[in-house]
């Protein structure tokens, strides 16, 4: 099991180098992250976007632009389409968001003719290393699926369990998060979804993971909380993966840990032909670099 970003970096450094296509690369922290990944020997990159701006930003940040291929494109849309084309043509192993908007990138990824769909649901997964938790914590979906139903939640679980297994979590423990551990069918539909999914998992319908819910966040990550509340759960206090009820809870959780919780964070989109390194524009260069490590660590072409 890989439990920290240092361990993950050690693993990806020993793999064959991957190539990242950066869509609209004229973004400072993305360039710094990609340059650091290059210096660490984990990735090459093709920088797609406004060549003049890319060169200016590289110069400003003491990055030798000559170590990368740069492809000059006019608009945001053109940069996104060209970067995706590189992945389609197997000239890049993964795609990274630069300055373009999340919606523009995701819509182009989902394009039936020119995108990189694999037939699965696409979902966002975050990975955290925390001073308060003994191992990696995965969380999904705080970035793509807005209000997933049971079917979408099952796909979200499959995607993130697959990623966790690639990071050598053999039998991931998945907590289906709600506001409490009891089913409240009158007022909290996500508790019903969690109970249904838990029962499906118990009947062996959902593959090789231990899935339980509903669980409140404290039940998922604190054994003490389970003891005090008398909760007997195979996941309680030891979750590897948190599945959030909807995008708002996932997004707030990510930003709370990132901005207030001293977490090291990474974020990618799963379920496309390749992982897509997708962070918020305001994420710093470290988060972008760690997201590259997460993307490369889970980079298998579907």
Residues forming the site for ligand COD (CB under 6 A)? 102-103, 106-107, 110, 121-122, 143-146, 251, 280
Pairing of strands 241-243, 69-72: unpaired
CB pairs under 8 A, 24+ apart, for 48-54? 48/21, 48/22, 48/23, 48/24, 48/73, 48/79, 48/82, 48/83, 48/86, 48/98, 49/22, 49/23, 49/24, 49/25, 49/73, 49/79, 49/98, 49/99, 50/24, 50/26, 50/79, 53/26, 54/25, 54/26
Least distance from ligand COD to the Cβ atom of residue 255, Å: 10
Question: Is the CB of 91 or the CB of 252 nearer to ligand COD?
Answer: 252
Least distance from ligand COD to the Cβ atom of residue 107, Å: 5
Least distance from ligand COD to the Cβ atom of residue 103, Å: 4
Question: Is the CB of 62 or the CB of 113 nearer to ligand COD?
Answer: 113
Question: Is the CB of 184 or the CB of 251 nearer to ligand COD?
Answer: 251
Question: Is the CB of 125 or the CB of 216 nearer to ligand COD?
Answer: 125
Least distance from ligand COD to the Cβ atom of residue 125, Å: 12
Least distance from ligand COD to the Cβ atom of residue 271, Å: 6
**Composition of the chain by helix, strand, coil, percent to 5:** 40, 20, 40
Question: Is the CB of 97 or the CB of 173 nearer to ligand COD?
Answer: 97
């Amino acid at each position: 099991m890989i439990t920290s970003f240092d361990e993950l970096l050690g693993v990806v450094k020993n793999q064959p180098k991957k190539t990242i296509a950066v869509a609209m690369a004229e973004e400072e922290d993305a360039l710094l992250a990609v340059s650091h990944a290059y210096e660490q020997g984990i990735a090459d990159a093709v920088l797609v976007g406004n060549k003049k701006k890319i060169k200016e930003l590289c110069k400003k940040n003491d990055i030798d632009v000559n170590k990368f291929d740069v492809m000059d494109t006019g608009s945001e849309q053109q940069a996104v389409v060209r970067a995706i084309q590189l992945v389609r043509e197997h000239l890049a192993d993964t795609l990274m968001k630069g300055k373009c908007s999340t919606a523009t990138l995701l819509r182009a990824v989902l394009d039936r003719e020119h995108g990189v769909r694999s037939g699965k649901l696409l979902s966002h997964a975050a990975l955290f290393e925390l001073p308060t938790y003994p191992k990696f914590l995965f969380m999904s979906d705080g970035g793509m699926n807005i209000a997933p139903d049971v079917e979408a939640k099952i796909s979200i679980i499959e995607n993130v369990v697959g990623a966790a297994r690639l990071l050598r979590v053999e039998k991931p423990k998945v907590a289906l998060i709600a506001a409490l551990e009891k089913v409240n069918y009158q007022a909290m539909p996500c508790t019903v979804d969690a109970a249904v999914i838990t029962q499906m998992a118990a009947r062996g319908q959902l593959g090789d993971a231990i899935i339980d819910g509903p669980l409140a966040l404290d039940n998922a990550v604190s054994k003490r909380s389970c003891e005090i509340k008398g909760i007997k759960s195979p996941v309680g206090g030891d979750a590897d993966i948190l599945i959030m009820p909807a995008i708002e809870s996932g997004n707030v959780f990510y930003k709370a840990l990132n901005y207030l919780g001293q977490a090291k964070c990474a974020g990618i989109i799963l379920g496309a032909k390749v992982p897509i390194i997708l962070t918020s524009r305001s994420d710093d260069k470290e988060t972008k670099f760690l997201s590259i490590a997460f993307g490369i660590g889970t980079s298998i072409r579907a």
